[in-house]
Structures are given as C-alpha cells and as structure tokens.
Amino acid sequence: MGVIVLCGLGFAVLGMQGGGNVAGGPAYQNESYTPPPADENPPELPVPKNVEEAKLALTDNKLYAQKVPQPIRCDVPEINVTTASNSALETHMEEVVACLMKTWIVPIEAAGFQMPRPSVTVYDTPITTKCGKLPMPNAVYCGADQQIYFSKNLPSVVPASIRNSRFVVESVIAHEFGHAIQARTAILISSTYFEKNADSKAAANELSRRTELQADCFAGMFLRAVAQSTGMNQPELDNVLAVFESIGDDKLSGKPDIDGNHGLSTSRRFWGEMGLASTEIRACNTYVADPATVR
C-alpha cells in the first residue's frame, strides 16, 4: 500500500464552560498528564504493510481492546463562537484539544501507537491546505499535515433552536480529533485504501460512512469522559445528539433515502449514543457493525 493523502470532513458548532467536581463522584483519571504543545511537524502516519494488515487495522485494531479513562478533568471557559475573534476561538479550541489529548492518550499508547497533538486553525475565508482548498462552512481533519481546520461560520448550519447550546463546538472538534485517532492507528489510511478500490460507489460510500460514524462514536466517548468535570446535563447531551442528526446526509440533502458518505441522521445519532454509553472502545468498531446501523 502506498501513502494516501487523507482529508476527513466533519460537522458543526458552539461553546462550553468548565465546571467543578461533582461531590462524591469518582476521582479524576490521568491527572498527572500534561498535554504537549501542538505538533506542527508530526511523525509520519503508520501504514499497513499489506492488504491483510489493512483489513485488521479496521476490524481488529489493537485500539479496540482499550478503554477510555473516566472521568477526565476538562476546565474550558465558556465562549460565544458567534462573536469571538479568530484568535480567541483558536485558543478555545486548542484548550478543547488538550482535554481530548488527556482523554485519549492512555488507550492510544497502550495500543502501541503515537498521538502527536494536532493544531487547530480557524479560518473565515476559503483556505488552501495540504488537503486542497477548504470551503465554508466546514470542519476538517487533514491527514496530509495531521492538523484540524474549522471555519468560523459553521454555526450557520446548526438549527437555530440549539445554536447557542453548550458543547456543540466541542463535539465538532471531538469528531475531527476522532479522525486524528483513526489516522494515528492506521484506521483512516486503511479505510481510504479500500474505499478507493471498492467495486462500486455504494460500497465506497458505506466504507466512508463507517469511518465518519466511528468519529461520531469517539466524540461521544469524549463527552462521556468529561461530563463530570464540565457539569454536562441531559438537555445539553440531547442538543449534541440533535446536532449529529442535523448534519445527517438526508437532512443536508433533503433526500430521505440518499446513499451518502457520512450517514443518515438516525445513524449519526445512534453512534453518538453508542459512544456516550460506553468506555469500551470496541463499542465504536463500526467496521464490523451491521450495515443497517451505518446507513
């Protein structure tokens, strides 16, 4: 297999505030860990040696045998992303990525992989990256430079009724970080290889959906891990799941039966819920899931 340039598209948008301990709750995990600075020159992504290794990277990855530690302390101040400056928004998102690193570093390293910290670039006009030109609105993990990109006008695609709810922007960044996890564990490059060599458009779309829905599931796991420290409540969780639904292929296209590449609204909500319900990373193994759950 050759090296493939990877770009993972994600979803959209808003702010969060830090919270204190819940009295009598479990002790915070991984407290001694200090996230490193963003790595602008990360090591090369791992590449399977052959097709069989690529298949195993998807279906039997060592990451799936791990657990996400919880609870994780995540103290991120509240921010209004509709009025914040680009620099303030970037700072906010970098702090979210620090929480993501603290949450995911233990299982990723236990599985034998490296996890350099990606940077976050906020842009307010279309931007050219190593993954090509990124339009607006958009949120992207670019495998060519292993960094995250976020357009400032993404709130416009979120339903107005939940646009100002907390945790929406954190969910977007957590989804894109999910693609970073996939890249660093050879999942993303393997899925892309099989997608490009699929024998039909339908088969390629299904592989793409499995990749995107796994990132939704990883985002749910992160939210579960930081729920105690952030004081996340059920209405806020419901709003995050509503965002997942709002960017389903059917909702964005207006075509209920579309064979898309990200997943129907019901599928996106299902895999977000799967992540919220478990610390076992195998629960997010979309590559062995029933096709009916990855429509």
Tell me if 94 is assigned to some domain.
yes
Question: Which has more confidence, 161 or 44?
Answer: 44
Instruction: Of 114, 99, 98, 101, give the one whose Cα is nearest residue 63.
Output: 114
Tell me if 202 is assigned to some domain.
yes
Separation CA 156–CA 204 (nearest Å) = 29
Least trusted range by pLDDT, from 109-113, 168-172, 274-278: 168-172
Mean pLDDT of 162-191: 91
Find the largest Cα–Cα distance for the chain: 55
Separation CA 159–CA 165 (nearest Å) = 10
Tell me if 246 is assigned to some domain.
yes
Q: Cite the beta strand spans of 110-166 per DSSP E.
A: 120-123, 127-129, 132-134, 139-142, 147-151
Tell me if 42 is assigned to some domain.
no
Instruction: Of 7, 185, 17, give the one whose Cα is nearest residue 95.
Output: 17
**Can you give the pTM of this predicted structure?**
0.91
pLDDT tens digit string along 174-188? 999 999 999 999 999
pLDDT score of 253: 87
The model's confidence at residue 16, banded by pLDDT at 50, 70 and 90, is: very low
Tell me if 273 is assigned to some domain.
yes
Separation CA 278–CA 275 (nearest Å) = 6
The DSSP string of 53-64 is HHHHHHHS-GGG
Tell me if 269 is assigned to some domain.
yes
Determine whether 251 is exposed, middle or buried from the number of CB atoms within 10 Å of its CB (0-12, 13-18, 19+). middle
Mean pLDDT of 141-153: 94
pLDDT tens digit string along 100-142? 999 999 999 999 999 999 999 999 999 999 999 999 988 999 9
- What integer best gives the mean pLDDT of the chain? 89
Tell me if 31 is assigned to some domain.
no
Question: Which has more confidence, 20 or 41?
Answer: 41
Q: Residue 152: give the domain boundaries.
A: 7-17+49-294
Tell me if 2 is assigned to some domain.
no
User: End-to-end alpha-carbon separation of the chain, Å?
Assistant: 28
**Tally of domains within the chain:** 1
